[in-house]
Structure 1
Amino acid sequence: MIRIAEIKDSSDIAALSIQVWLDTYAKKGIRKSISQYVLNEFTEKNIQSKLTSKNDVYFVAIEKGHLIGYVSLKLSAKCPITANTIPELDKLYIQENFTANGVGSVLLQQALSFCNSIGHEQVWLTVFHENTRALKFYEKHGFQEVGVTYFELDNEKHKNHVLCKSTAA
């Protein structure tokens, strides 16, 4: 079941975020800057703040009462390449056990349809350059690379591809 996230989902979203982020980006292990980032970024309070913001929308995938994935949108975000202020597909996180079974595609389609329904013609996102699975997923769904940006953590720059897609069906 896919639905709009509610405040009661905030702790589950925070926990899933930490799990997926660490599985995706902490390939060499955990160090202080990584620990501090995830423990400061993915808190129940931060998620609650986003869930009550008019600029953020979350859709959650629930299976048998458990959160298995979510997609989050920032409805008004400036693309670092085009400088257009359009929705950013901020996160599409699926618990590893549920990847490759269509949940990500359904959440992505929900996000695109939602943006289209409120009058947005395009969305953008960033993907870590070493995340080949995500890059292939977005390419399969019609996203096109428009440039490169960098995620900074502990004075280190990490290359990210910037991708855009029309919200039209």
Structure 2
Amino acid sequence: MYREATLKDSANIAALSAQVWLHNYALDGVNDAISAYVLSEFTAENIANKIKDNSYQYILCENASNLTGLVSLDYSATCPVTSKPSPELDRLYIQEPFTGKGLGRKLLDAAINTCKNAGHSKLWLTVFHKNERALAFYKRHNFKVIGETYFVLNNERHLNYVLSIDTF
């Protein structure tokens, strides 16, 4: 089942987000910087504030009323490569036991359709350069690498590719 998030979903979104983020980015283990980032970024309060914000949207995927995946859209974003405002696919997270079952494609389709219905014709995102599975997924779905940006954590720069899809 796919649906838009409500405030009641905040804690579950925070927990799933922290779990998936750690799985994909704490490749060498957890250190102080990673812990501080995850515990400050993925809180129920932060998620609730985003849900309340009209420029941000979560679409959820559930299995028997349990959260298994999500996609989030930031309509107030500016692409770091083009410097033009356009929606950002901020996160597409699937809990690991549910990967490879088509959930990512369905959530991506929901995000694209939501943007299209809102009158947008472009969508962009960033992917950690070592996340080969995500890069392959987005390339299979017609996203193109248009440049690079960096995620900064504890004064360390981590290379991310900027991908975009035009005209849905």
Question: Whole-Å Cα distance in 1 between the matches of residues 12 and 29 of structure 2?
Answer: 23
C-alpha deviations, 1:14-66, integer Å up to 9, x for none?
00011000000001111100000000000000000000001101000011010
Q: Distance in 1 between matches of 2:83 and 2:34?
A: 29
Unaligned runs of 5+ in 2: none
1:148 maps to 148
Structure 1 portions without partners, runs of 5+: none
- Please give the residue correspondences for 1:2-151 in structure 2 after superposition, counting only pairs within 5 Å: 2-151=2-151
Letter in 1 for 2:62: I
CA distance in structure 2 between the aligned counterparts of 1:39 and 1:83, rounded to whole angstroms: 30
Q: Which residue of 1 aligns with 2:164?
A: 164
Amino acid at match of 1:81: V
1:152 CA drift (Å): 0.3
* Partner amino acid, structure 2, of 1:100: G
> Which contiguous aligned blocks of 4+ residues in structure 1 show a shift greater than 3 angstroms?
none
How far 1:167 moved relative to its partner? 4.8
Q: Deviations over 1:77-120 (max 9, x none)?
A: 10000011000000000000000110000000000000000100
Say which SS state the counterpart of residue 76 (structure 1) adopts. Answer: coil
Q: CA deviation at 1:76?
A: 1.9
Counterparts of 2:27 and 2:146, CA distance in 1: 27
3-state DSSP of counterpart to 1:78? coil
Give the alignment's TM-score, normalised by structure 2: 0.99
User: Does structure 2 conserve the Cα–Cα contact (< 8 Å) formed by 1:113 and 1:167?
Assistant: no
The share of aligned pairs that are identical, in percent, is 51
Q: Give per-residue Cα distances to partners, 1:108-164, cap 9 Å, x unaligned.
A: 000000000010000100000000000000000000010000000011100000000
Give 3-state SS (helix, strand or coil) of 1:86's partner. coil
The verdict on how the C-alpha distance between 1:167 and 1:7 changes in structure 2, with shifts beyond 3 A counting, is farther
Does the C-alpha gap of structure 1 residues 167 and 98 become closer, same or farther in structure 2, counting only changes over 3 Å? farther
Inter-partner Cα distance in structure 1 for 2:38 and 2:45 = 13
Which amino acid is the alignment partner of residue 8 of structure 1? K
For the residue of structure 1 that corresponds to 2:76, the secondary structure is strand
Q: 2:56 and 2:167 mapped to 1: Cα distance?
A: 17
Give me the TM-score of the superposition, normalised by structure 1: 0.98
